[in-house]
Amino acid sequence: MVVSATSRPGAGRGPASPGGPPPPGGLWRGVAGRVPARLRRVSLPYLLILPAVLLELLVHLVPMLIGIAMSFLKLTQFFLRNWSAAPFAGLDNYRVAVDFDGAVGRALLHSFLVTVAFTVLTVGLSWLLGICGAVLMQGAFRGRAVLRALFLVPYALPVYAGVITWSFLLQRDSGLVNHVLVEQLHLFDERPFWLIGSNSFWSLIVVCVWRSWPFAFLVLMAGLQNIPHDLYEAAAIDGAGWGRRLRAVTLPMLRPVNQVLVLVLFLWTFNDFTTPYVLFGKSAPHEADLISIHIYQSSFVTWNFGSGSAMSVLLLLFLLLVTAVYLVATSRRRSDA
Amino acid sequence: MRDPRWLPWARWIGLGLLGLFTLTPLYVMLTSAIKPLRDVQGDFHWIPTTITLRPFADMWRTVPLARYFANSLVVASVAALISVIVAIFAAYAISRFRFPGRRIFSVTVLSTQMFPGILFLLPLFMIYVNLGTALGVELYASRTGLIITYLTFSLPFSIWMLAGYFDSIPTALDEAAQVDGSGPVGALLRVVLPAATPGIVAVAIYAFMTAWGEVLFASVMTDESSRTLAVGLQGYATENDVYWNQIMAASLVVSVPVVAGFLLLQRYLVQGLTAGAVK
């Protein structure tokens, strides 16, 4: 392996050259004469991460700082093209956002609570389907590889393509869901609406679970493969049946995997914008007004970016807080166990 | 250790239900794409009565799908290419060097990946609009502007996934190359990159996929000329008619390349996606 790789130096240079920066090897040799070897070794990692750091500053840090600055401005539509003229607003935007007696604050609180309920249900169900799928896929059987690939399709599909298909399925008059529930199973006398009113909340959960359970499945399957087989054998020798092995070996061994998986699913679901936006179009129903779509709509309908930025910053603070508490709580439990 | 006798039954019932849930929308997408318009407007039918390929021809005329396609292709490829090239060097540094600031750099990279997109949307929109007014740099509604916004999510996970791949390549390989007279960068280019090629391709595909499917930024940062597929597909719903058969045909066509890429590189993608969680 080493011999073949070093004897064909051209093969290694291939992938990086087209369109990329000039191979640093050449650049390096030019500088090498002037810089002492020690300094070179110390500075090399910094040089390697420099482009990434600059880009991260450009696309993350600068917009974030500007976003925080915007949240302290009275940045209404009159100042959008020339924001240096916007008057300083102090904490006004924040005060309005958390004043739950006012219309803006009440709507934000409602949206927040809807998002919390949606996230808890979606993450829970996605995990449940994922663990069922992963456990049932254990062992060798015919069709396993095909089934696994099929299960991954909703995750591989562009999000909007999957969600558009669901919005067709959920149409009141021409959709499959009502055809099955009303025409075939006769569960309802009248065709229900699934994309407006209180049903829209459940539609949103079903669509989101459809799209995110394959990820849970994927991660949990990888986690199951990492559990040493000896543990099952030992448990079986001690007389543990299938259900007992699941409870006493599989689930405890998956705990570190679950810790990360649940966090990632939580953050994705809580911030989900695409599913409600594509499913409901420009105006989400009141019952399914997720926080991302709420901030988006209140920013681009009223063009009050100051208030929108304040809400985004509050959202970020909430997510950081939840993540920190979650990591501390789950890590402590892990070291106790 | 014997599995209980009911397990095969439970397996087929459980996996069958999961398969039904997963595949039904895909089945509807496939079959509705070959139905005439009147058959997707009335009551739903499981089996298409009339089969036609017309939606696949009409979909290019109802909306300028070819232009959206080209925009998505350019934006997603360039964003993927830039993030992977920049990420290769950063990931190599994280994986192979222990330097002060390494931890804070990798933690920052990981955490920005988790930030809500909406947090960056309003400031980036403001920056673009004001750069246009102040300096005449038209980033707003341009493909360049969209590419830059897509780096906000594609760069962090590219660095993160690639560092995972590099970790899985034994350092003995680099050391052997360095004994042969290459510097650390030479070792990266001659030994680590070839060994990590499948992983690098997988990361590039994944970056391409996420940009291909991105809706939030595309809905705000594009106009008619720079519109991408993610937003353009909504054009099939006009005031008079919703061309569901053409929507399904178009969804199918835009999905096939990414799904095929994902399934082909499944092994490497799964390794990269789950590495962080499983390790």
Inter-chain contact A132–B18, Cβ cutoff 8 Å? yes
Inter-chain contact A158–B15, Cβ cutoff 8 Å? no
Interface test mutation site (partner B, options A13, A29, A47, A55, max chain B beta carbons within 10 A): A55
Chain A nearest CA to B259, separation (Å): 5
A239, pLDDT greater than 90: no
Residues 295-334 of A with CB under 8 A from B: 295-296, 299-300, 305, 308-309, 312-313, 315-316, 319, 323
Measured at the CA of B126, the angle between CA A283 and CA A79, to 5 degrees, comes to 90
Chain A nearest CA to B80, separation (Å): 12
Which tops the pLDDT comparison, B231 or A4?
B231
Domain range for B82 is 56-278
Q: Is residue B13 part of a domain?
A: no
Rounded Cα–Cα distance for residues B274 and B276 (Å)? 6
A26, pLDDT greater than 80: no
Q: Does A154 touch chain B (CB under 8 A)?
A: yes
Rounded Cα–Cα distance for residues B156 and B153 (Å)? 6
Which of chain A's residues have a Cβ under 8 Å away from the Cβ of B25?
Answer: 154, 162, 165-166, 169, 210
Mean pLDDT of A194-200: 91
Which tops the pLDDT comparison, A142 or A262?
A262
Q: Which of A75-84, A139-148, B120-129 has the lowest mean pLDDT?
A: A75-84
The encoded tokens of residue B94 equal: 């994280």
Q: What are phi and psi of B237, to 5 degrees?
A: -95, 95
Inter-chain contact A156–B234, Cβ cutoff 8 Å? no
Mean pLDDT of B239-254: 90
Q: Is residue B15 part of a domain?
A: no
Inter-chain contact A222–B40, Cβ cutoff 8 Å? no
Confidence of residue A245 (pLDDT cuts 50, 70, 90): confident
The helix-helix angle for A144-156 and B244-264 (nearest 10°) equals 120
Q: Which of A29-43, A81-95, B93-107, B113-127 has the lowest mean pLDDT?
A: A29-43
Per domain, the residue ranges of chain A are 102-303
Q: How far is CA A2 from the centre of its chain?
A: 39
pLDDT of residue B164: 84
Rounded Cα–Cα distance for residues A265 and A134 (Å)? 17
Inter-chain contact B152–A156, Cβ cutoff 8 Å? no
pLDDT of residue A13: 36
Confidence of residue A58 (pLDDT cuts 50, 70, 90): confident
Inter-chain contact B21–A214, Cβ cutoff 8 Å? no
Interface test mutation site (partner A, options B185, B197, B262, max chain A beta carbons within 10 A): B185
Give the 3-state secondary structure of residue A102.
coil
For B255, nearest residue in chain A (alpha carbons): A157
The helix-helix angle for A103-136 and A199-225 (nearest 10°) equals 40
A201, pLDDT greater than 50: yes
For B6, nearest residue in chain A (alpha carbons): A242
Mean pLDDT of B184-191: 80
CB A199 within 8 A of CB A286: no
Q: Is residue B96 part of a domain?
A: yes
A11, pLDDT greater than 50: no
Average pLDDT, chain A: 84
CATH code of the domain containing B215: 1.10.3720.10
Give the 3-state secondary structure of residue B237.
strand
pLDDT tens digits along A78-134: 777 777 777 888 888 899 888 889 889 999 999 999 999 999 999 999 999 999 999
Q: Taking Cα atoms as reference points, which of B32, B15, B236 lies closest to residue A176?
A: B32
Give the 3-state secondary structure of residue A73.
strand
Confidence of residue A5 (pLDDT cuts 50, 70, 90): very low
pLDDT of residue B1: 63
Residues 109-148 of A with CB under 8 A from B: 129, 132-133, 136-137, 139, 141, 147
Which of chain B's residues have a Cβ under 8 Å away from the Cβ of A312?
Answer: 116, 118-119, 122
Q: Is residue B29 part of a domain?
A: no
The encoded tokens of residue A331 equal: 């890590």
Q: Is residue B83 part of a domain?
A: yes
pLDDT of residue B244: 92
A22, pLDDT greater than 70: no
Task: Give the number of beta-carbon pairs within 8 Å between A and B.
Answer: 329
CB A23 within 8 A of CB B204: no
Rounded Cα–Cα distance for residues A92 and A97 (Å)? 9
A9, A149, A162 ranked by CB distance to B190: nearest = A9
Amino acid (1-letter code) at residue B20: L
Inter-chain contact B215–A222, Cβ cutoff 8 Å? no
Percentage of residues of chain A with pLDDT beyond 70:
87
* Residue B195 CB partners (closer than 8 Å, separation 6+): A1, A5, B169, B173
Rounded Cα–Cα distance for residues B168 and B275 (Å)? 10
Q: Taking Cα atoms as reference points, which of A7, A9, A6, A40 lies closest to residue A23?
A: A9
A62, pLDDT greater than 50: yes
B71, pLDDT greater than 70: yes
Which of chain A's residues have a Cβ under 8 Å away from the Cβ of B216?
Answer: 273-274, 277, 292, 296
Q: What are phi and psi of B231, to 5 degrees?
A: -100, -35
Q: Is B17 left (phi over 0), alpha (psi -120 to 50) or beta?
A: alpha
Q: Which of A79-88, B38-47, B158-167, B227-236 has the lowest mean pLDDT?
A: A79-88
Domain count for chain B: 1
Q: How far is CA B205 from the centre of its chain?
A: 7
pLDDT of residue A336: 52
pLDDT tens digits along B134-178: 887 788 888 999 999 999 888 988 998 898 888 888 888 778 777
B89, B116, B270 ranked by CB distance to A222: nearest = B270
Q: Taking Cα atoms as reference points, which of A225, A226, A320, A212 lies closest to residue A262?
A: A212
CB A54 within 8 A of CB B111: no
Inter-chain contact A49–B15, Cβ cutoff 8 Å? no
Percentage of residues of chain B with pLDDT beyond 70:
96
The class level of CATH for A102-303 reads: mainly alpha
pLDDT of residue A272: 93
A25, A150, A261 ranked by CB distance to B185: nearest = A25
B235, pLDDT greater than 50: yes
Mean pLDDT of A185-202: 91
Pinpoint the alpha helices (H) of B97-225: 102-112, 117-135, 143-167, 171-179, 184-187, 193-212, 216-221
Chain A nearest CA to B46, separation (Å): 8
pLDDT tens digits along A213-232: 999 999 999 889 888 888 88
pLDDT of residue A243: 85
* Residue A184 CB partners (closer than 8 Å, separation 6+): none
Q: Taking Cα atoms as reference points, which of A103, A142, A209 lies closest to residue B11?
A: A142
Q: What are phi and psi of A138, to 5 degrees?
A: -65, 150
Q: How far is CA B222 from the centre of its chain?
A: 18
